[in-house]
Each structure stands twice: as structure tokens, then as C-alpha cells.
């Protein structure tokens, strides 16, 4: 470590420097805060003279001679006496110039040792040179960079000898004075009170990303740069003048609009680097004069852009009074959730600075100078929106985290910001919701992506087509169930007879007939018979409570009920209700042997009514017409090339719409249905045996069931559909074996079974597969809450359209129908169904599913992705099913609960579960409470039934042992270090360091003491990611064990 000599001065750090010093310790040996610039000089140049000028610049400006060694009390700023600049010269070829400049810009500095500047002169030819200047941000800001370049060129031109130029203002004097001013207790307290009130309950808007923030975040980044059109720049300046605001206010307001539209949030915090050069004493001083502040803007009333300009202007006025309050002190006062890699209080920053290329004084005798700005592949924030002002030209530079975002997403963001700026410059009266983001080309691209291919559909009802199939394949097996089977001719004969009985019992065209049957061959006969008779069937589970069954029968106005003898008593009585027993022949009808029944059904007749759970708790009946069911069947046959030799497993309950899709697809093709009896459905082993014995070629299964079943061997299985719930990557890898076509299917009941699908490529999947593209004759739109098409990568509500594939509506509920089925603004005269599901278009224009719009989970202001956590849990070989839900415990604390289904709950180590999840997601997304069960409750359709998950037991909810109840001596030692650094705080198991009021500098002291007292080289990142005594102790024990092992190896 560097030790000061008698000529060196010790200075305190400014608060801004303290923050940068801490960030350097958090991400050591990273160039994220390097500030590079390069000058290309074409013409005669004297390298020795230029080097002498650099020496004089370093001697003149104290900040270029400081380093930051550590003492017991923390870092100090050590000012060295004048010494030659850090200078290198090198010959280079044009072809390697970009690489050399990038490598020099990305080479990290040592804050402890210094120097924190570098000059590299590259000779490309006798009269062609490039001078690279690189500084650490802890000693310069943007203005400083301009001062250094200006002084360097002036010294070179004048050939000034030392002492002939006026001395630069003192950095050390300004630091001491500024530190005294900022730390004045009364002023600081008032400033902190202001920011606490201004930023209370600050949200954490997350820009939609391509990846989750990792458990070990990095600072890897990228840049997207574009020059704004001159006409736009002129329009923005006119707007600023007309509204009496600065250009920065206009640009910051536009960024607010963009972030709000991208995230769907109304409360937007933006980070703004504020220069502290208002003090005349700071003029001409090279140094770090930057403090981050937070602009918080309320857009909840959907303001016009002109109104938004006034709000942002108010923010800038407040900065004159309180912008000096150190950012880190504000963070300490607010105590937000701390996480390594996530900037506290804001994730997006915006600034407008002078473009270095437009700086005055960039000239040398007989030579031209061009500014080159090397880009460092690092990112300080999730996204930094930088505008460089060159007068008639503004350059937009987007610095982004490549850990989170792919380049295509940020390139699109640059287009959307430009489009928004063009719109508001032309019409500042536009409301936030109406500011366009999409270009015309993007809009057309999204509409094309959401339009399924047109497929001609038969107009005749499905039962007519099935009758034609039966005439050709009468002896073929239509369906098997257990030990019974039925041929096509017999199915047709029995259905025809039952249809005549229904008409004789009073059925009228379009009547709803209740089918109260278990899944068996009788159910197939009943469904087909109702369609033949001209009615619509509603399958109702006979096992449900009589009160609910009575409610559904009344809602359906079902005067006719089909059941069987042993279930007769399960059917509630009703006025004028007629029960028809499918397993009894019934009275003969006069017309049984006459001509075929007159066809009452058309393509617009109702085919079936399926009841789904309503948000109010009252089931709602979805009416599906023949045309909609035909649309699905024909589309499904395009996805899976079924033929009469196929044997389709029919697993889903008959009250689940996929069952109807599979039944009518199979019967239309002339294939064989393999119905799964209830007893077999409850046993994964029996189901697997059935699939093998019946030589099943197709299976449509819920992901929860795929997790329980072995993926093989099933020698005949060629087609596999997963649907109804999120399909984890691990399940795709498990089941998508060679020779199989595996499809991820999506569709709500209101869209007639399914409307989108994705064929899973046979590769190793690491993320949930998309739900894909629209099926034939379907239209899919992703829109924001104002009905605007959202750009690729931005979640929006899925609207489903198409003139043939939608439900008619809700039975007997015109108000609800009008609420959910609304006009299609992109297809005049058509309707769309508002699904309530959140989706986004990915880079390949496939839809990705993000869950229900009304099920978004937030914890401590941070968005939680339960599906990502559940997917991580499924990587454990003993985990069969998983669910993650937020839970409010008796003490009012909200925690994440991880529910895990596993064959041996007692044998599963929750520490191992934490480790697996912690490797995949950020620390705040790791459940703190675990419930291990033999199996998780499932709905009849095979989804995890979250309503039936048991309450966590009190001791599982994180009940805290008393202080001092540590499990080992090492835990006691770590707890003592926590307590000492936090001023004697009472530390209890399970408490997080930052929850106890710990600050970033106190975290550094904890790490330092652990290294000194326990001999473990703990990283600060670990304390952020795992801030409890128990987690830190586990890491310390691991480090100590590894250290001893290395020592033994050396011996």
C-alpha cells in the first residue's frame, strides 16, 4: 500500500469521490469510471514539446496528482508534489488504431497507487498522430476534460516554460472548503429532510430487459450512438425558447415519457449528474465536481408534454437549493433495498453536456485536430441517456448494461426516443399516452407479425364432417377408455339415436344441454349427440358440490341434462328440467329409422359452453361457435400433421377446453382417442404405462404433469403439446427428444382453445420458450393500457382477434361480453378479446408470456418474476413442481414463500434450494420461507392451484431467535463485527446488514474487519448479495476452508 511522504498533502474526499471510491472497491479492476478522449492530429507535431506541455498541465492541476490510499479510518486523498506526466509513445498502424484506443481506454487504474491519468501518443505516420488521454472520473468531470485539453494545446502552442503561466485555482483548497460547507449539521439536516420528503416511497421502475439481473452483477456495457437530425435539433430549441425552459428540460421530459411508456409506471425517478461549479472558486479547477440527484416526476394524470415541461422545470429549480446534498447521504437516509449491481434510487440517468468535439481552441499551427471518443464496454447504470450538444448538432449516446439488454433493444429505444422528440417538437400539446414511439415501419412490422396466415375453413359443422369420416372408417376405433372401445360407426349410431331423443324431449335449436358425466365413452356420445340435435353442450363435473352444480345449471338455463343412471341423484332437480340417461335406451322414437335428422346448426351456431372461474368468484360461461371450434381444429392439424393412424392421448378434464379441441381434432381426422380414466390420471406411473401400452403418438399435457412423468421410453410418441401454464426450460430439455415435435401452446378459453404456438427447437433451453406466433386466421396485438401497440420487447396486454376464432361472448352476460370483447381498431368491423395476459414480441417477432396483468408481484418496491424463480427450482432433480407466492406474515412483513413438491420433503435441503435459486436470480428474489410438500395441489386442468396452497407455519415464516443464539463461534464473531461497525446494534439471526441501517462505507468496514480479524478475503459484493450473518459466515467458512486447502497443497 502506498505510504505518504513529507511533501504529500492529505485531503479529505468530497462526497462524490467517496461514492466513486466505494464503487471501485465494489467492482475492483474495472474501467467503468474511466474517462477517455483522443485527439487525432494531422500535420507536423513535436512529440517532445507535447510531452513537456503534458508535464506542465499535470503540475498545474492538483487533481491530476492525487491518489487514494486507505487508512484505518477509510480512504484519504493524497496530493503528490509535481512530477512528470504518465506518458508513453508507440508506433501504430491505422488498422490497429481502434483496438489500441479501446484497450487503453479500458485499462483500469489503481486508486490506491495512482497516477490517475495516462497520456499515450500513437505515431501513425510522420504527420499523423493520435494522442490518447485517459483519466479516472474521481479526479475529473466533463468540464475538467475540456480544461485539460485546452491547457495542453495552449501550452504546446506557446511553448510556455514552467512558471510563466498563471497558476490554476487550487483543488485542495476547494475540497477542504466544500467539505466543511456540506457537512455543516444544520444545512445538511435540512437538505436531507427535503430529499426524504421528495423521495419517500420511491418506486423502482424496471426497464424491460432481455435477461434478469444476475446474482453476481457485472458492469459490462455497450453504447448505441446516433446523431439527431438537424431539423429536429432546431425544433427542440424552438420548443425550449417558446416554453421558457432549457434544452435539458425538454430532453429530460422526453426521457420521462419514454421510461413511463416502457415500464407502465406513472412515478418516474431519473438520475441526473449535477455539476457543482456554481461557486466562482470552482471556475478553472480540474477535479470531480459532480453530485447525482434524483428527478422524480409524476405522470399519473397523463399530462400533456407542455405540462410535463413545467414539472421538470420545477425539479430543476429545487436543485438550486438542495442539489448539493450528497447522494450517498440521501441513500443512507432513505435506506432503499440495496443490491450489488443495482444503483440505489434510480436505474436510468439523463444528462446534456457539451460535445468535446465542438470545444473552442482545438487547433495547432499547420495541423488539424479531430476529436475521437473511444467507447469503453462498461455501464454505470442500467441505462444512461447522454446528449452531447455541439450547437447545431446533438448526438444521442445510450450507455447500457449488456448484462440486461441486447443491442437490438437499445437501438430500438434510440429510434423510439427520436420519434417521441419529433412528435413533441411539432405538437407539445400531446398527452404522455398519445406521444408516438413507433415508426411507421415498426408499426407495420408488428401488425404483420401478429397476423396469422389465412386458411380456408369448411363452413359445415364439425359433426357433419365426423359423420362423413364414420361413413368411410366405420370399423376403425374412434376411442378407447380403459377396457372399452367404440368404433366410428357405433359412435355415429349411438350419437344419432341420442340426438333424436333430445329433440323428442323438446330441444330447440341453440339450446344449451348440460352433460353431467365423467370422462368415458358415454361422454363422447353425449357431446356429439347434442351437436347433431342442434344444441350446444356444457360439460359439468358431477363430482362438484350440488350447490355449485345447481348454480351452473341455472346459469346455462339447461332444461335438458344428459347423465347416466348411477349419477342421476347428483343432478339437482329444477323446474321443467328433463334428465336423459345416456346409458339407457329410452323410449323408441318414431323417427329413429327415418331420414337423417334435419340439420339445424350453422357455422355460427353455438357448439359448446365452457365455464371458467370469474374474478368475482361466480363462474362465467364462454360460448364457442362451430366456426371458432373449426378454426382451432384446422389450425391444430396444420401444427401437428395427424393422420388416421395416430393415437391421441386425451388427458385433460372434459371441463377444460383443450379436451374439446383434441376430441374434435381426432374425430375429424379419423384417428383414435385414448381417453385417460380418472384413476389413471392420478398416477404418473399408470399414465406412463397407458401411453406405452396404447402406443400413443400424441400427448397434450400440462407442465405440472410433465414434471411428474418420466420422459420415456414412449416408442411411438411423435407429437407433444405443452399448454395451460408456463413451460420451464428444464421441461423442454427433458421431453424434447429426437424424433418428437414439441410445441408450446397458448390460448384462453375465449379464443377457442388456442391461438398461438411455438415449435421448440431441439437444443438446450435456458429460458422459458416463447408462446410463439399466431395460428391460422388469428390476429394478435400487444398493447399498453392506452391501447397503443407496444414496441418489440415491451410487455403489453395481449388482444386476440380474427373473424372466426373468438368466442361469441359470455352466456347471459352482455355487459361482461362488451367489456372483454371490444372493437378491433386495426381491423374495422372486427372484434378482439382482451386477454388480461401480459406478453411481448421478442427480437424474432415471437410472443413471450409474462403472466397475468393483475398478478404482477412487487416486494419492497422491486418487481418479482415468480416464473423465473420456479424455473430455477425445477433444476433441482428432486423437485417435481414449484410455486412462488408473496405472503404477509403475522408481524406484517411481506416475504416470498417457495412451495416445493418433492417425493421426500424431509430429505430436501432448503439451503441447497436457496443456492440453486441464488445462482439464477438476484438475492431479493430468493424465497425466505419454504414449504416442502409431497405434491402441490393442482386444478382440474393440471395447473398449480395457488388458492389451495397451505399457509406457512409460523416457524417457517422467519421467526427470529433471540440475539446471541448463534449456531457457531464463527457466526458469533461475524455478528460481533456487524454490531461493532453498526455502533453496538443488537444483531439477530436473519436480519440483513442494510435492513439494520448499514451504509455502503460501513459495509466496506465490515469487509475490512473480516479480512483483518478472521483472515478471509470477503468481497463487498458478497455482503450485498447475502447480507445476513448466517450467509456471510457460510461464505467466510468456505473461503477459510479453501485457503487451508491451498496451503496444504503448497506444502
CB atoms closer than 10 angstroms to residue 84: 12
pLDDT value at residue 856: 66
CB atoms closer than 10 angstroms to residue 184: 11
CA distances for 1036 relative to 262, 428, 967, 1039, angstroms = 41, 58, 14, 5
DSSP string covering 105-136, please? HHPPP-TTT---EEEEEEEEETTEEEEEEEEE
3-state secondary structure of 629: helix
DSSP string covering 319-385, please? HHHHTTS-HHHHHHHH-PPPBTTB-SS-SEEEEEEE-GGG-TT--BTTBEEEEE----SB-SSSEEE
pLDDT band at 425 (very low <50, low <70, confident <90, very high): very high
- CATH number, span 9-175: 3.30.559.10
Among left, alpha and beta (phi > 0; psi -120 to 50; other), residue 564 is beta
pLDDT in tens, 522-556: 999 999 999 999 999 999 999 888 888 999 999 99
Say which CATH class 460-600 falls into: alpha beta
Q: Are 109 and 35 in contact (CB under 8 A)?
A: no
pLDDT above 60: residue 960: no
Label the pairing between strands 512-515 and 484-487: unpaired
777-852 falls under which CATH superfamily? Luciferase; Domain 3 (2.30.38.10)
C-alpha cell at position 336:
432503499
pLDDT value at residue 439: 96
**Which residues neighbour 483 within 8 Å (Cβ) at sequence distance 6 or greater?**
none
Q: Are 591 and 500 in contact (CB under 8 A)?
A: yes
DSSP string covering 213-256, please? PPSS---BEEEEEEEPPHHHHHHHHHHHHHHT--HHHHHHHHHH
pLDDT value at residue 584: 86
Report the distance separating Cα 895 and Cα 931, nearest Å: 13
Say which CATH class 862-957 falls into: alpha beta
Query: pTM, whole model, 2 decimals?
Result: 0.85
pLDDT value at residue 1016: 86
pLDDT value at residue 1049: 31
Strand partners, 131: 39, 121
pLDDT above 60: residue 162: no
Percentage of residues of the chain with pLDDT beyond 70: 92
The sign of the dihedral angle between the CA atoms of 261, 267, 272, 277 is positive
CA distances for 146 relative to 150, 285, 359, angstroms = 6, 11, 7
Work out the mean pLDDT of the chain and round it to a whole number. Answer: 89
User: Which one has a higher pLDDT value, 857 or 839?
Assistant: 839
Q: Is 899 exposed, middle or buried (0-12, 13-18, 19+ CB in 10 A)?
A: buried
pLDDT band at 858 (very low <50, low <70, confident <90, very high): low
DSSP string covering 21-53, please? HHHHHHSTT--TTEEEEEEEEES---HHHHHHH
Q: Of the ranges 561-570, 672-681, 999-1008, which one carries the lowest mean pLDDT score?
A: 999-1008
pLDDT in tens, 188-200: 999 999 999 999 9
C-alpha cell at position 865:
418474476
Nearest to 793 by CA among 414, 415, 406, 215: 406
pLDDT in tens, 463-481: 999 999 999 999 999 999 9
Report the distance separating Cα 841 and Cα 845, nearest Å: 5
pLDDT band at 165 (very low <50, low <70, confident <90, very high): low
Alpha-carbon Rg for the chain in angstroms: 35
C-alpha cell at position 975:
455478528
User: Which one has a higher pLDDT value, 588 or 579?
Assistant: 579
Percentage of residues of the chain with pLDDT beyond 90: 63
Length of the chain: 1051
pLDDT value at residue 1: 47
pLDDT in tens, 259-279: 999 999 999 999 999 987 777
pLDDT band at 617 (very low <50, low <70, confident <90, very high): low
Residue with cell 427470529: 960
Average pLDDT over residues 98-118: 95
User: Which one has a higher pLDDT value, 666 or 730?
Assistant: 666
pLDDT value at residue 963: 46
pLDDT band at 720 (very low <50, low <70, confident <90, very high): very high
Average pLDDT over residues 413-434: 98
C-alpha cell at position 704:
405440472
Strand partners, 372: 38
C-alpha cell at position 314:
420545477
- The reply to whether 460-600 shares the fold of 198-365+375-444 is no
CATH value of 969-1050 in 1.20.58.100, 3.30.420.40, 1.10.1200.10, 3.30.70.100: 1.10.1200.10
pLDDT value at residue 580: 96
pLDDT band at 594 (very low <50, low <70, confident <90, very high): low
pLDDT in tens, 884-905: 988 876 656 677 899 999 988 8
CB atoms closer than 10 angstroms to residue 771: 25
Report the distance separating Cα 320 and Cα 322, nearest Å: 6
Q: Are 84 and 58 in contact (CB under 8 A)?
A: yes
pLDDT value at residue 916: 85
Q: 589-597 long-range contacts, Cβ below 8 Å, gap at least 24?
A: 589/500, 589/501, 589/504, 591/500, 592/497, 592/500, 596/496, 597/496, 597/499, 597/500, 597/503, 597/532, 597/533
Q: Are 388 and 351 in contact (CB under 8 A)?
A: no
Highest-confidence segment of 72-86, 153-167, 244-258, 353-367: 244-258
pLDDT band at 776 (very low <50, low <70, confident <90, very high): very high
C-alpha cell at position 593:
329409422
pLDDT above 90: residue 807: yes
Return the domain boundaries, the chain: 9-175, 198-365+375-444, 460-600, 777-852, 862-957, 969-1050
Report the distance separating Cα 1016 and Cα 1035, nearest Å: 9
pLDDT above 80: residue 220: yes
198-365+375-444 falls under which CATH superfamily? Nonribosomal peptide synthetase, condensation domain (3.30.559.30)
CA 223-224-229 angle, to 5 degrees, is 145
C-alpha cell at position 1022:
458478497
CB atoms closer than 10 angstroms to residue 651: 25
**Which residues neighbour 110 within 8 Å (Cβ) at sequence distance 6 or greater?**
67
Average pLDDT over residues 628-645: 96
Secondary structure of 953-987 as H, E, C letters: CHHHHCCCCCCCCCCCHHHHHHHHHHHHHCCCCCC
Q: Are 903 and 880 in contact (CB under 8 A)?
A: yes
pLDDT value at residue 215: 65
Report the distance separating Cα 986 and Cα 1008, nearest Å: 21
3-state secondary structure of 58: helix
Report the distance separating Cα 98 and Cα 117, nearest Å: 20
pLDDT above 70: residue 160: no
Amino acid at each position: 500500500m502506498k505510504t505518504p511522504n513529507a511533501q504529500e498533502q492529505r485531503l479529505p474526499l468530497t462526497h462524490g469521490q467517496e461514492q466513486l471510491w466505494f464503487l471501485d472497491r465494489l467492482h475492483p479492476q474495472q474501467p467503468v469510471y474511466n474517462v477517455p478522449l483522443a485527439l487525432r492530429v494531422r500535420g507536423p507535431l513535436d512529440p517532445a514539446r507535447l510531452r513537456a506541455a503534458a508535464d506542465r498541465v499535470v503540475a498545474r492541476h492538483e487533481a491530476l496528482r492525487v491518489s487514494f490510499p486507505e487508512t484505518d479510518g477509510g480512504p484519504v486523498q493524497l496530493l503528490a508534489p509535481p512530477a512528470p506526466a504518465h506518458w508513453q509513445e508507440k508506433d501504430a498502424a491505422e488498422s490497429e488504431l481502434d483496438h489500441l484506443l479501446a484497450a487503453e481506454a479500458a485499462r483500469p487504474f489503481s486508486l490506491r497507487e495512482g497516477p490517475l491519468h495516462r497520456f499515450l501518443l500513437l505515431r501513425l505516420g510522420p504527420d499523423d498522430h493520435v494522442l490518447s488521454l485517459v483519466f479516472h472520473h474521481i479526479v475529473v468531470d466533463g468540464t475538467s476534460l475540456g480544461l485539460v485539453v485546452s491547457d495542453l494545446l495552449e501550452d504546446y502552442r506557446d511553448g510556455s516554460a514552467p512558471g510563466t503561466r498563471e497558476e490554476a485555482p487550487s483543488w485542495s483548497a476547494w475540497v477542504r472548503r466544500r467539505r466543511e460547507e456540506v457537512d455543516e449539521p444544520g444545512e445538511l439536516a435540512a437538505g436531507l429532510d427535503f430529499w426524504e420528503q421528495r423521495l419517500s416511497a420511491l418506486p423502482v421502475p424496471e426497464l424491460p430487459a432481455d435477461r434478469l439481473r444476475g446474482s453476481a452483477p457485472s458492469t459490462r456495457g455497450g453504447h448505441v450512438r446516433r446523431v439527431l437530425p438537424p431539423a429536429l435539433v432546431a425544433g427542440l430549441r424552438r420548443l425550449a425558447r417558446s416554453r421558457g425552459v432549457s434544452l435539458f428540460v425538454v430532453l429530460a421530459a422526453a426521457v420521462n415519457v419514454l421510461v413511463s411508456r416502457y415500464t407502465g409506471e406513472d412515478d418516474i425517478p431519473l438520475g441526473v449528474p449535477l455539476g457543482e461549479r456554481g461557486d466562482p472558486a470552482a471556475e478553472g479547477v480540474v477535479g470531480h465536481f459532480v453530485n447525482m440527484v434524483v428527478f422524480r416526476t409524476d405522470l399519473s394524470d397523463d399530462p400533456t408534454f407542455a405540462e410535463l415541461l413545467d414539472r421538470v422545470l420545477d425539479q430543476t429549480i429545487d436543485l438550486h437549493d438542495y442539489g448539493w446534498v450528497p447522494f450517498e447521504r440521501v441513500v443512507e437516509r432513505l435506506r432503499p433495498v440495496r443490491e450489488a449491481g443495482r444503483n440505489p434510487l434510480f436505474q436510468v440517468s439523463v444528462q446534456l453536456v457539451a460535445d468535446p468535439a465542438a470545444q473552442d481552441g482545438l487547433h495547432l499551427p499547420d495541423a488539424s485536430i479531430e476529436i475521437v471518443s473511444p467507447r469503453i464496454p462498461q455501464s454505470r447504470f442500467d441505462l444512461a441517456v447522454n446528449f452531447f450538444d455541439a450547437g447545431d448538432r446533438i448526438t444521442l449516446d445510450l450507455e447500457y448494461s449488456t448484462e440486461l439488454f441486447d443491442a437490438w433493444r437499445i437501438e430500438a429505444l434510440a429510434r423510439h426516443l427520436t420519434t417521441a422528440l419529433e412528435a413533441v417538437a411539432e405538437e407539445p400539446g400531446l398527452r404522455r399516452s398519445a406521444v408516438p414511439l413507433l415508426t411507421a415501419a415498426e408499426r407495420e412490422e408488428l401488425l404483420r407479425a401478429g397476423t396469422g396466415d389465412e386458411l380456408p375453413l369448411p363452413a359445415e359443422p364439425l359433426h357433419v364432417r365426423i359423420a362423413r369420416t364414420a361413413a368411410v372408417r366405420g370399423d376403425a376405433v374412434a376411442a378407447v377408455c380403459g377396457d372399452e372401445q367404440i368404433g366410428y360407426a357405433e359412435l355415429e349410431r349411438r350419437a344419432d339415436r341420442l340426438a333424436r331423443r333430445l329433440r323428442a324431449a323438446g330441444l330447440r335449436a341453440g339450446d344449451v344441454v348440460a352433460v353431467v358425466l365423467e370422462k368415458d365413452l358415454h361422454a363422447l356420445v353425449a357431446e356429439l349427440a347434442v351437436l347433431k340435435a342442434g344444441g350446444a353442450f356444457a360439460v359439468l363435473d358431477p363430482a362438484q358440490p350440488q350447490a355449485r352444480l345447481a348454480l351452473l345449471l341455472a346459469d346455462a338455463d339447461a332444461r335438458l341434462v344428459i347423465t347416466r343412471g348411477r349419477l342421476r341423484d347428483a343432478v339437482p332437480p329444477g323446474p321443467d328440467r328433463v334428465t336423459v340417461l345416456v346409458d339407457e335406451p329410452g323410449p323408441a322414437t318414431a323417427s329413429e329409422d327415418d331420414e337423417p335428422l334435419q340439420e339445424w346448426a350453422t357455422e355460427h351456431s353455438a357448439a359448446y359452453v365452457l365455464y371458467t372461474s370469474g374474478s368475482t368468484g361466480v363462474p362465467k360461461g364462454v360460448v364457442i361457435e362451430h366456426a371458432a371450434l373449426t378454426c382451432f381444429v384446422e389450425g391444430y392439424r396444420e401444427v401437428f400433421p395427424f393422420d388416421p393412424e395416430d393415437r391421441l392421448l386425451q388427458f385433460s378434464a372434459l371441463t377444460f377446453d383443450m379436451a374439446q379441441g383434441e376430441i374434435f381434432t381426432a374425430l375429424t381426422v379419423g384417428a383414435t382417442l385414448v381417453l385417460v380414466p380418472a384413476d389413471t390420471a392420478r398416477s404418473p406411473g399408470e399414465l406412463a404405462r397407458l401411453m406405452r401400452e396404447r402406443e400413443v403418438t400424441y400427448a397434450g399435457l400440462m407442465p405440472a404433469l410433465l414434471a411428474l412423468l418420466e420422459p420415456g421410453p414412449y416408442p411411438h410418441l411423435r407429437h407433444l403439446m405443452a399448454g395451460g401454464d408456463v413451460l420451464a426450460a428444464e421441461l423442454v430439455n427433458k421431453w424434447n427428444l429426437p424424433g418428437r415435435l414439441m410445441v408450446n401452446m397458448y390460448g384462453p378459453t375465449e379464443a377457442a382453445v388456442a391461438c398461438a404456438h411455438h415449435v421448440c427447437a431441439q437444443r438446450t433451453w435456458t429460458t422459458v420458450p416463447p408462446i410463439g406466433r399466431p395460428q391460422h386466421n388469428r390476429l394478435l396485438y400487444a398493447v399498453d393500457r392506452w391501447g397503443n401497440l407496444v414496441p418489440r420487447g415491451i410487455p403489453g396486454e395481449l388482444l386476440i382477434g380474427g373473424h372466426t376464432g373468438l368466442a361469441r361472448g359470455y352466456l347471459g352476460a352482455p355487459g361482461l361480453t362488451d367489456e372483454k370483447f371490444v372493437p378491433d381498431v386495426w381491423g374495422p368491423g372486427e372484434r378482439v378479446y382482451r386477454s388480461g395476459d401480459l406478453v411481448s414480441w421478442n427480437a424474432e417477432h415471437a410472443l413471450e408470456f409474462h403472466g397475468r396483468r393483475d398478478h404482477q408481484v412487487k416486494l419492497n418496491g422491486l418487481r418479482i418474476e415468480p416464473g423465473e424463480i420456479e424455473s430455477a427450482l425445477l433444476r433441482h432433480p428432486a423437485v417435481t413442481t414449484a410455486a412462488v407466492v408473496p405472503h404477509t406474515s403475522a408481524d406484517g412483513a411481506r416475504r416470498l414463500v417457495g412451495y416445493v413438491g418433492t417425493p421426500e420433503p424431509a430429505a430436501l435441503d432448503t439451503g441447497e434450494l436457496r443456492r440453486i435459486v441464488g445462482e439464477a436470480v438476484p438475492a431479493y428474489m430468493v424465497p425466505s420461507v419454504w414449504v416442502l410438500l409431497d405434491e402441490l395441489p393442482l386444478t382440474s386442468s393440471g395447473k398449480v392451484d395457488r388458492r389451495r396452497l397451505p399457509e406457512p407455519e409460523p416457524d417457517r415464516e422467519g421467526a427470529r431467535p433471540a440475539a446471541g443464539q448463534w449456531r457457531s463461534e464463527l457466526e458469533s464473531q461475524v455478528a460481533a463485527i456487524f454490531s461493532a461497525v453498526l455502533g453496538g446494534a443488537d444483531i439477530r439471526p436473519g436480519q440483513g446488514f442494510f435492513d439494520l441501517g448499514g451504509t455502503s462505507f460501513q459495509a466496506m468496514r465490515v469487509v475490512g474487519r473480516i479480512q483483518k480479524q478472521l483472515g478471509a478475503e470477503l468481497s463487498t459484493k458478497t455482503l450485498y448479495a447475502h447480507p445476513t450473518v448466517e450467509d456471510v459466515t457460510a461464505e467466510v467458512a468456505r473461503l477459510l476452508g479453501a485457503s487451508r486447502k491451498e496451503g496444504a497443497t503448497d506444502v
